[in-house]
Structure 1
Amino acid sequence: MSIQSTIEDKLQALEPTFLTVENESHKHNVPPNSETHFKVTLVSPRFEGMMPVKRHQQIYALLADELAGPVHALALHPYTPAEWQARGEARPDSPDCRGGGRS
């Protein structure tokens, strides 16, 4: 099973109404087909009344094994359904990689 699939499976514990896990490794200075850099956009009613740092902590706890091993970077964008709707259901763009540019 790919790391991306493992992340998607583990995040089901948060009962998402929307979930996308994007492998952004290709934007970084890593070997081809790497699974080291991911962007997670997750919408869940379980985040209601929860500060952003607590949302991140819940995700980090679920993905502790991946973060201790193959995953180098994890961009998290957790929203409540109301926050997601207010954004127009638009995923945030990722910034350009600032380290290890390709030549």
Structure 2
Amino acid sequence: MSMTDTIRDKLTEQFSPLHLEVIDESESHHGHGGWREGGETHFRVRIATRNFDGMSRVAQHRAIMAALDEELKVSVHALAIEVVPAP
């Protein structure tokens, strides 16, 4: 399973998002720190979920980071998080 799929599956299971995009931006970081051949090192997540209602932005980001703790420790070098309003 690709890292994109792993991230998508974990966030879907944890937050039941109404909208979720997992974008592998690794190629645009070619040659930068943390980049490695084959990519899957730099990601952007756009997520909308009711689970974040009433949470601060910091709490939302911490929840996402906690859900992806193992991936961030082992293989994901960078994660950009965009929490968008739930429709």
Q: TM-score, normalised by structure 1?
A: 0.75
Quote the Cα distance in structure 1 between the aligned partners of 2:84 and 2:60.
9
Question: Gapped runs of 5+ residues in structure 2?
Answer: none
Aligned length: 82
Aligned pair partner of 2:74 in 40, 44, 69 = 69
Structure with larger Rg: 1
Question: Gapped runs of 5+ residues in structure 1?
Answer: 86-103
Aligned pair partner of 1:58 in 59, 63, 68 = 63
Counterpart for residue 21 of structure 2: 20
Conservation of the 8 A alpha-carbon contact between 1:14 and 1:44: yes
Counterpart for residue 6 of structure 1: 6
Quote the Cα distance in structure 2 between the aligned partners of 1:17 and 1:68.
27
Quote the Cα distance in structure 1 between the aligned partners of 2:7 and 2:67.
9
* Identity value in percent: 40
Question: SS of the counterpart of 1:8?
Answer: helix
